[in-house]
């Protein structure tokens, strides 16, 4: 069972839009997340995406793998992977960057070579309409 610290629980209970004491009108405690397995990203590509980035501009990197605008978010996570969200980042310099396409990097949004492993190379790619 997953434990939640009292500080985290307190913050959840005080979140905007909650009833008194973090309870709904029936008195039941509101918990804003599922107790099930969190959504996992799908492999969008088996290689990184070379993209030209502008310093100071904020980008939204797709972390779920469902976006049709890879490597950037198009909002697909809202229906295909609820609970996931894009990674917002702002580069410090203009230039080409290699953004992760497999969604398994340990240095998001940048490629770290994880795509070269069998787990990614053997994974199916999403079907394109």
Do residues 28 and 66 both lie within one domain? no
pLDDT of residue 11: 46
Report if residue 41 sits inside a domain: no
The domain of 25 spans 1-36
- Along the chain (129 residues), what's the average pLDDT of each consecutive run of 10 residues? 46 43 46 65 97 98 97 96 96 98 97 97 82
Q: Where are the beta strands (DSSP E) in the chain?
A: 49-53, 59-61, 87-89, 95-99
pLDDT of residue 17: 41
pLDDT of residue 127: 74
pLDDT of residue 67: 97
pLDDT of residue 128: 60
Do residues 55 and 76 both lie within one domain? yes
pLDDT of residue 4: 47
Give pTM, 2 decimals.
0.71
Do residues 76 and 109 both lie within one domain? yes
Do residues 68 and 8 both lie within one domain? no
- Residue of 73, 74, 77, 105 whose CA lies nearest to 89: 73
Do residues 30 and 59 both lie within one domain? no
Report if residue 43 sits inside a domain: no
Do residues 13 and 65 both lie within one domain? no
Q: How far is it, in rounded angstroms, from Cα 44 to Cα 65?
A: 5
Per the structure, the count of domains in the chain is: 2
């Amino acid at each position: 069972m997953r434990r939640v610290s009292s500080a985290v629980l307190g913050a959840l209970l005080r979140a905007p839009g909650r009833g008194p004491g973090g309870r709904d009108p029936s008195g039941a405690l509101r918990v804003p997340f599922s107790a099930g397995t969190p959504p996992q990203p799908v492999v969008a590509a088996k290689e990184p995406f070379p993209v030209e980035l502008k310093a100071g501009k904020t980008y939204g990197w797709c972390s779920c793998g469902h976006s049709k605008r890879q490597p950037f978010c198009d909002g697909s996570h809202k229906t295909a992977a609820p609970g996931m969200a894009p990674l917002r980042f702002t580069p410090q310099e203009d230039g080409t960057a290699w953004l992760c396409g497999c969604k398994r990097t340990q240095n998001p949004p940048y490629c770290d070579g994880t795509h070269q492993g069998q787990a990614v190379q053997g994974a199916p790619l999403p079907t394109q309409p």
